[in-house]
Chains A and B, each alone.
Chain A
């Protein structure tokens, strides 16, 4: 097999990885609400001295 085929398969593998990541993120609901996660990360963690569940 020539080098180009290996390169091709390699690139396809990487691209499929990204496709799967995209499909997973959609399924995970990451596109449902594009406002709150961005805000949530800025909140101070008020519960830090409480036991985590």
Chain B
């Protein structure tokens, strides 16, 4: 049989490489049986439009989901928490499906009634990655609906956290209402003020004048009482806490403008500044919305509850019964399936445990456990079914304790409020007030009381810091938007400013600078003969250990043979006899029984091959570093100090040192608390501003301790510890560009500040003389707002394009 190895085809369903090259259906190639099954199902139900809308839209089915995983959904308690409404026959439910990514998903999910006839209606909200489903209780059940979704690759995300909080995404529309109403009032007031400005005699006909003025007042009421209410509330809150926030001068300006305008209109002395006032409110509401844009589908505050499964199988009298995790008691026997997370501390009683702790401790290779050993919560089983005896309940487990550790919590509160806006708001009010009072005092000394009042109020009106504030809200808002397009999701606009101040970047190793899934294998030693190669691949095929699987893939032998004389020593290696040749493949300890090996340094990260009591070589297991790591580190090292702090052993030290350079400090075998202390040390002793980039639970403390902590994830919906930002792994190499964009943003803000100060000075020039007419105010204020908006938007776009980011 001739197999063309040069061309690796991609799976018709999910687009991954077809490594096996054996799975075909109707001339279409698939990477695994799961993908093929989905295709068959869709084909049967005439749903192949799915594949026509986008190429390879599917979700990889390589990790199989066990059949009875969703039995817990038959439990009434769980059911009641999940469903939104039911009348006994029709039930409404909304699922969060993180896999939704393209229009094919949308199409398939909305046509799901072709697969499960019990589903009456399905509607996708693409932005929130949610699907709203109405199904008929007679024809199907909640569990069957979830199973249908899972079968076609869209496993709903059901977590304890959501069950506990019973969260329904209620979209808050208030902000949009406010903007709409403010905009409406603003343009109408503007329109009705125009006759005043342009009448040649200076006075419009009396009755028309009165009607216009009355309408202006009517339209200004919703602006000040509804649209601007947030400014008053925050200003009031700030004052009560004896703190002048940026909303204080704004609220003051709005209030004084309103009062003075009402006075002028009713006393017949003038036309007031209500058009400027509504304009300000309108623009600032827009700026605020841009800056406060939230990511519905991303959560920065996940805790261990969303990490754990909802239910787990408890064995009672040899019958497995799905039980909600809160109800698991000490002494229960639980079953853990392949690729499942162990949610409690437990003793292994049955099965081959090979536990992946990379998320909890940072160890890159799976750990083998013997029967009778304690397995701590948070590990993921990689090798078949386990039975465990619970020793600690979920709320008491090691993992939960790690999470709730007090040191990690107290620190985050005392983040210094040194941002420019805070500084500005502190002094701005004082400066404006003193200008107003000095000018008023001058006119008082001239005995011009009318002008004194005039000056006092108009200074406060024009000096409203709205242009200053718009500069920062629009710049930050646009930067947040650009970053999120490039898959860096920041928690808050303040993080942009913090990003500009960092001077030390600390990386975690496992999962942060290495890829989570792929293991890179390198063979060192005497080359294999063809028979040896086939034999070794065949032997490794018998073992389900993840390293064996990786080696099989590395050897890429298609014609494997059957093996009869085989002995698998769990956690150590494999021994086999083929045609009187003795093969022994496994860890250093496993091999060294026969003969010593000189190269001890590699012992922790290599699989050794021994044929007839002779070591002929070893497979070195390397972590695959992320794409662009080397270039990124070079860029970063020019500007910042860089360190690595890892929970893993130091087997990769040499490799890392060549990438990171000799002066970089590399720390290994670090416990979560040590990571935290290291960051604190950098901050407190060396007075550095630290950016920490990590991924796992062991980084949770360090992520909080850093001036800014960014979690990296291969899928933005995966579980991440609480952090300031989430970065998609595919964009890892752009990290330096992101920092540069933040720095550029800072400069743009400063530039627009200067500009708005010029506008303010012009306004003040008229105001202190007591000659600010409503017309000047009405032109000056929207003008300054619009120019600031255009400049900030244009410049941020320009910088983003220059840095080759998506805009």
The interface residues of chain A lying within 8 Å CB-to-CB of B184 are 15-16, 18-19
Cβ–Cβ contact B106 & A39, under 8 A: yes
Residues 12-43 of A contacting B (Cβ, < 8 Å):
12, 15-16, 18-19, 22-23, 26-27, 29, 31-36, 39-40, 42-43
Cβ–Cβ contact B177 & A23, under 8 A: yes
Q: Name the one of A18, A22, A27, A33 contacting B128, with C-beta atoms under 8 angstroms.
A: A33
The interface residues of chain A lying within 8 Å CB-to-CB of B211 are 5, 8
Closest Cβ–Cβ distance, residue B122 to chain A (whole Å): 12
Cβ–Cβ contact B176 & A31, under 8 A: yes
User: How far is A24 from B304 in the complex, measured between Cα atoms in Å?
Assistant: 40
User: How far is A35 from B212 in the complex, measured between Cα atoms in Å?
Assistant: 42
Cβ–Cβ contact A46 & B46, under 8 A: yes
User: How far is A32 from B125 in the complex, measured between Cα atoms in Å?
Assistant: 8
Known: A27-B173, A31-B176. A46 touches B128 (CB 8 A): no
8 A-B pairs with CB atoms under 8 Å apart are A19-B181, A29-B171, A31-B176, A32-B127, A33-B126, A36-B124, A42-B103, A46-B111
| Most chain B beta carbons < 10 A, residue from A29, A34, A46, A53 | A46
Q: Is A52 an interface residue (CB 8 A)?
A: no
Interface size on B, residues (CB 8 A): 30
Cβ–Cβ contact B176 & A33, under 8 A: no
User: How far is A6 from B125 in the complex, measured between Cα atoms in Å?
Assistant: 45
Residues 116-136 of B contacting A (Cβ, < 8 Å):
120, 124-128
User: How far is A31 from B181 in the complex, measured between Cα atoms in Å?
Assistant: 16
Cβ–Cβ contact B127 & A34, under 8 A: yes
Residues 533-583 of B contacting A (Cβ, < 8 Å):
none
Q: Name the one of B49, B125, B173, B192 contacting A36, with C-beta atoms under 8 angstroms.
A: B125
Cβ–Cβ contact A43 & B173, under 8 A: no
Cβ–Cβ contact B180 & A23, under 8 A: yes
Q: How large is the interface on A (under 10, 10 to 19, 20 to 34, 35 or more residues)?
A: 20 to 34
Our count of residue pairs bridging A and B at CB distance below 8 angstroms stands at 62
Cβ–Cβ contact B176 & A26, under 8 A: yes
Dominant SS among interface residues on chain B: helix
Cβ–Cβ contact A26 & B180, under 8 A: yes
Binding site for B on A (CB under 8 A): 2, 4-5, 8, 11-12, 15-16, 18-19, 22-23, 26-27, 29, 31-36, 39-40, 42-44, 46, 53
The interface residues of chain A lying within 8 Å CB-to-CB of B103 are 39, 42
List 10 A-B pairs, minimum CB-CB distance, nearest first.
A35-B126, A39-B103, A36-B126, A19-B184, A26-B176, A22-B180, A33-B127, A33-B125, A26-B173, A32-B171
The interface residues of chain B lying within 8 Å CB-to-CB of A19 are 180-181, 184
Cβ–Cβ contact A5 & B126, under 8 A: no
The interface residues of chain A lying within 8 Å CB-to-CB of B124 are 36
The interface residues of chain A lying within 8 Å CB-to-CB of B176 are 26, 31
Q: Is B188 an interface residue (CB 8 A)?
A: yes
**Contacts A19-B180, A26-B173, A36-B106 given; 14 further ones with Cβ under 8 A?**
A2-B208, A15-B184, A15-B187, A16-B184, A19-B181, A23-B177, A32-B127, A33-B127, A34-B127, A35-B126, A39-B103, A40-B110, A43-B107, A44-B49
Closest Cβ–Cβ distance, residue B783 to chain A (whole Å): 23
Cβ–Cβ contact A43 & B125, under 8 A: no
User: How far is A36 from B177 in the complex, measured between Cα atoms in Å?
Assistant: 23
The interface residues of chain B lying within 8 Å CB-to-CB of A40 are 106, 110
The interface residues of chain A lying within 8 Å CB-to-CB of B110 are 40
The 8 A CB mask of B45-67 against A (1 = contact, 0 = none) is 01001000100000000000000
The interface residues of chain A lying within 8 Å CB-to-CB of B212 are 8
The interface residues of chain B lying within 8 Å CB-to-CB of A8 are 192, 211-212, 215
Cβ–Cβ contact A43 & B49, under 8 A: yes
The 8 A CB mask of B167-195 against A (1 = contact, 0 = none) is 00001010011001100100110011000
From B185, which residue of chain A is reached at the shortest CB distance?
A19
The interface residues of chain A lying within 8 Å CB-to-CB of B126 are 33, 35-36, 39
